[in-house]
Amino acid sequence: MFNIEHWQEIFDTISKNKLRTFLTSLSVASGIFILVILLGVSSGIANGVKEQFSSDATNRIQISTRTTTKEFKGLNPGRRLQMTNADFESLNYKYEDQIEYKTSLYRTWGGQINYKDKQGSYRIEGVFPDQQFIENATLSHGRFISQSDIAESRKVALIGYQMKEDLFPFSDPVGKTILVNNNINFTIVGVYTDPGGTREESRLFIPITTAQRVFNQGENINRIAYTVNMGKNFDETAKLSAQMTASIEQDLRARFIVAPDDRVAIRVEDTLEQAKPFFDLIDVIKAVFWFIGLGTIIAGVVGVGNIMLIVVKERTKEIGIRKALGALPSEIIMMILQESIFITSLAGLVGLFLGVGLLEIAAPYIQNDFIDNPTVDFTTAITTVIILVVSGAIAGFIPARRAANIKPIEALRDE
């Protein structure tokens, strides 16, 4: 229950010991400030790492085949392995429950693209509609490749933003017709942007069935890409992705009769496996920063505890009189705890606001490959507030217990 007399006593005690209270409060505020800054920096590092993997989906598995380099079961090295639509469909069926998005690809480099008097050489990729999500592509105009385009082998194309700037610098390309390799007309249905930048935006996407037809590839494909369903957390998703990657590689080695130690012939790349060491490092950095920040806070809490011990010593006679007049030990404890929690929380909140404020001001100016947008989220802010209250209670508990154990007769004799 709110008791104005208790608050008046707290402010009287603080006003009589301004310097002592200020210096102790400064240590608590500094601890929280340092903790907030460190957590903000760790968040920025995490954002920077995520940005490095944002050019494609982080839960991506990419499959490709090349030429065998080792003899196996009587088959000579140098065999060119060629995946087909049947391989794609077989994997889709087997791993249906684990797959989030899927596409097979037929890719050709250096395709000649013309529009009126402008021309350029770009990569051409035949894809399925899910390529948009696997590549983290964002539509800026029009639409992506559709399932109807696949079914009807339509001559439609999606161009990257860099292609748009090269061939259509001052107009909307959607609906325009481009000439591919000087003999095939394609209608542009959309423009996309890609977080991978200029290189990734210098590609032309067309339906996979159309690519196989116009490039005389029949059922051939040269790449397969999946994203795996996300688990409950990063570690679970990484485990599922690793298991699926190993199983797919085993399936393809059996299908093409490839030596187990031929690492060139079949490549199944797991993006999560590549990302995991970086995210593990981030977790270690966060733990170290928490340890440093909490250590600084503990130093401040010890200072507050010392202050409260001095307060109890100075108010021994007053506490004895209160107990002689019938004050309960719990009331004495609450009186000391209230003052301890107030000092700690007030100082800590000042440090919290200063830390968050500094991060908000500095964050827009900190943009590089390693740190991006260092901020503290709401959950972290609430956690620090809880730490403040708990720290205040811990700092005041021992002095409060000592105050509660003071015997009135001894306290009245105290000088």
DSSP-derived secondary structure for 217-239: -TTEESEEEEEEPP-SSHHHHHH
d(CA 122, CA 138) in angstroms, rounded, equals 19
pLDDT at 349 over 60: yes
Mean pLDDT of the region 115-122 = 90
- Calculate mean pLDDT across residues 201-209: 94
* Residue 118: strand pairing partners: 115
Percent of the chain with pLDDT over 70: 80
Listed in sequence order, the residues at least 6 apart from 115 whose beta carbon sits closer than 8 Å to its beta carbon are: 167, 168, 173, 176, 177, 178, 179
- pLDDT reported for residue 190: 95
pLDDT at 148 over 50: yes
Residue 405 CB neighbours (<10 A)? 9
Whether 199 shows a pLDDT value over 60: the answer reads yes
Q: Is 52 exposed, middle or buried (0-12, 13-18, 19+ CB in 10 A)?
A: middle
> Taking a C-beta distance cutoff of 8 angstroms, is the pair 195, 136 a contact?
yes
Residue ranges of domains in the chain = 4-52+278-413, 60-274
Which of the given ranges, 75-79, 320-324, 330-334, 385-389, has the highest pLDDT on average? 75-79
Which tokens sit at 41?
């920096």
What's the pLDDT at 318? 67
Count of residues making up the chain = 415
pLDDT at 341: 76
Torsion of CA 153, 156, 160, 163, to 10 degrees: 130
Which of the two residues, 40 and 146, has the higher pLDDT score? Answer: 146
241, 243, 249, 250 alpha-carbon torsion, rounded to 10°: -170
Taking the C-alpha atoms of 405, 406, 410 and 411 in order, what is their torsion angle to the nearest 10 degrees? -170
Return the sign of the alpha-carbon dihedral for residues 25, 29, 30, 32: positive
H helix or E strand, kind and range, residue 245: helix 234-256
Provide the pLDDT for residue 10.
63
pLDDT of residue 366: 72
At 61, list the tokens.
């598995």
Q: What is the DSSP letter of 370?
A: S
Mean local confidence (pLDDT), 122-147: 92
**CA dihedral angle for residue 117, residue 123, residue 125, residue 129, rounded to 10 degrees:** -80
β-bridge partners, 305: none
Look at residue 287 and tell me whether its pLDDT is greater than 70: yes
What pLDDT does residue 224 have?
A: 96
- 340 CB-near residues (< 8 Å, 6+ apart): 304, 305, 308, 392, 393, 395, 396, 399, 400
Please say whether the beta carbons of 314 and 85 come within 8 A. Answer: no
Q: Is residue 320 over pLDDT 80?
A: no
Top pLDDT among 147 and 319 is at 147
Q: Give helix 329-362 / helix 4-16 axis angle, nearest 10°.
A: 70
Backbone angles phi and psi of 122, in degrees to 5: -140, 160
Indicate the pLDDT class of residue 216, thresholds 50, 70 and 90. Answer: very high
Q: In the prediction, which pLDDT does 279 show?
A: 67
Please, which residues have CB within 8 angstroms of residue 353's CB and are 6 or more apart in sequence?
Answer: none
Q: Which of 120-124, 355-359, 398-402, 411-415 has the lowest mean pLDDT?
A: 411-415
Q: The tokens of 105 are what?
A: 């690809």
Could you tell me if 203 and 176 are in contact, meaning their C-beta atoms sit under 8 angstroms apart? no
C-alpha 218/C-alpha 211 separation (Å) is 9
Which pLDDT score, from 0 to 100, does residue 369 have?
Answer: 62
Q: What is the mean pLDDT of residues 44-69?
A: 75
pLDDT top residue among 162 and 33: 162
Structure tokens at 76: 């000579």
- What confidence score (pLDDT) does residue 334 get? 75
Number of H helices, E strands in the chain: 13, 12
> Percentage of the chain surpassing pLDDT 90?
37
Mean of the per-residue pLDDT values of the chain: 82
| Mean pLDDT, residues 260-277 taken together | 82
pTM over 0.75: no
Kindly give the pairing relationship between strand 138-142 and strand 184-193: antiparallel
**pLDDT score at 280:** 72
User: What is the pLDDT at residue 1?
Assistant: 45
How confident is the model over 276-300, as a mean pLDDT? 74
- Which is it for strands 184-193 and 156-160: parallel, antiparallel or unpaired? parallel
2 has pLDDT over 60 = no
* pLDDT bracket for residue 150 (50, 70, 90): very high
Highest mean pLDDT among 1-5, 52-56, 200-204: 200-204
